[in-house]
Structure 1
Amino acid sequence: MNARIGDNSAAERNKRPIFDALVEHLADARHVLEVGAGDATHARHALERLRDCIWQTSEAPGHYRRLVAALADRPEPRLPRPLSLDVRGQWPAGPFDAVFGANVAHIMDWAAVEALFAGAARVLRRDGRLCLYGPFLRRGEQPEPGNAAFDSALRDRDPAMGLREIEALDGLGEPLGLIRVADIAMPRDNRLLIWQQRGR
């Protein structure tokens, strides 16, 4: 079973395996932008696992106040004040060493996914990385039963949502100079996908 929208327990459960896989890819990262930071569970864990990294959280305008409240009890220089970020709008200037998002691509409509890739490509430094965690589909392959059920439930809720094909995401990235360099199997039929900026 995969994370449902607003499932804080899923972020708590998956933070360790995500960062176990992520640390080697972000070992030299000093400035990371998280898209869709939720209640900042991953951000707090990032500070423990990436000791020299400034982790900039962001959230869509409709969920921004929740993120601000989640971080209000812990002033931390490496965890700056969250940003309100509509991926279709203006992004922070960067440059960032990485852009990270967990369980975001399947709850965005396709235009927003396109905007996510375009925005990340603009703000990443050369060799910076876009890292997305969550359930994904692979073109021409039958999805795992849990992912198939989750995809169906999402589309029943909103036809614009749904699990994304890895190959379709590659197709967004390549013209922007984002080339996939990792596809890591994760627990509960999730994956960690990493694209590297090689276009600038």
Structure 2
Amino acid sequence: MTDDPRRHAPATTRNRDPILAVLRRFLPQTGLVLEVASGTGEHAAYFASHMPMLDLQPSDPDEGACASIAGWADAARLQNVRNPLTLDAAADAWPIDRADALVCINMIHISPWAATLGLMAGAARTLPAGAPLILYGPYVQAGVETVASNQAFDADLRMRNPAWGLRDLADVTALAHDAGFTREAVIPMPANNLMVVFRKG
């Protein structure tokens, strides 16, 4: 038994450095970065430790995840990670009014489509013109063969919850466009993932 609330996701140690490299390219030099669906909080702590001029605002709808997020930030003694917000991406209102950038890692395929609808609407409310919205995860792309591992992952997700599954990047892009964002970059990442960068108009 332990009182340590920290959770660990093995994938974070594998993908954090490639993700960080892209974030350094597209995030502002200073300001507040909202992370939606922070999960364990390992990414937030790692990114904040490597980008000390930015303030990180992690969030998650799950109380246990929020405790884990705070645990990782406390263990690293980070001053630029704010207390996690209980935030449901699908909600009509978020507990934050403004951020200078928004990052969302591995949520869109492990949540109902309503969460992506809410993510775009919330980003439109929260971000100023010119701010980046940065997404990470696996996608289906027209004209690009979906690798066998992603096909198997998609089948597993849909078996666990029929509302989950890999999304078509064209659908996500259309949704972002309708919310006032322009797609700026699609960057291939390890393990058949993508970083997708949108910019608020």
TM-score relative to the length of structure 1: 0.89
Q: Which moved more, 1:17-26 or 1:63-72?
A: 63-72
CA RMSD in angstroms, aligned pairs only: 1.7
Correspondence 1:101 to 2:104: yes
Q: Per the alignment, in what secondary structure is the counterpart of residue 23 of structure 1?
A: helix
1:106-159 CA distances to partner (integer Å, 9 max, x unpaired)? 011011111011111110111111111111111343211111111111011111
Task: Tell me the residue number matched to 1:152.
Answer: 155
> What is the deviation of 1:44?
1.6
> What is the deviation of 1:173?
0.8
> What is the deviation of 1:69?
3.6
Q: Which amino acid aligns with 1:88?
A: A
Change in Cα spacing, 1:56 to 1:185, as seen in structure 2 (3 Å) is same
Is 2:108–2:167's contact at 8 Å kept on the other side of the alignment?
yes
Aligned length: 193
After TM superposition, the structure 1 = structure 2 runs for residues 111-190 of structure 1, keeping only pairs within 5 Å, are 111-190=114-193
> What is the deviation of 1:179?
1.1
Task: Tell me the residue number matched to 1:12.
Answer: 13
Task: Tell me the residue number matched to 2:3.
Answer: none
Task: Tell me the residue number matched to 1:3.
Answer: none
> What is the deviation of 1:7?
6.6
Percent of matched pairs sharing the same residue? 33
> What is the deviation of 1:34?
0.6
Change in Cα spacing, 1:133 to 1:14, as seen in structure 2 (3 Å) is same
Distance 1:47 1:115 in 2: 25
Distance 2:166 2:36 in 1: 17
Is 2:90–2:116's contact at 8 Å kept on the other side of the alignment?
no
Q: Which amino acid aligns with 1:85?
A: L
Is 1:29–1:98's contact at 8 Å kept on the other side of the alignment?
no
Query: Unaligned regions of 5+ residues in structure 2, if any?
Result: 1-6
Is 2:138–2:166's contact at 8 Å kept on the other side of the alignment?
yes
Task: Tell me the residue number matched to 1:48.
Answer: 49
Is 2:45–2:76's contact at 8 Å kept on the other side of the alignment?
no
Q: Per the alignment, in what secondary structure is the counterpart of residue 94 of structure 2?
A: coil
Distance 1:16 1:50 in 2: 12
Query: Unaligned regions of 5+ residues in structure 1, if any?
Result: 1-5
Change in Cα spacing, 1:29 to 1:179, as seen in structure 2 (3 Å) is farther
Task: Tell me the residue number matched to 2:81.
Answer: 79
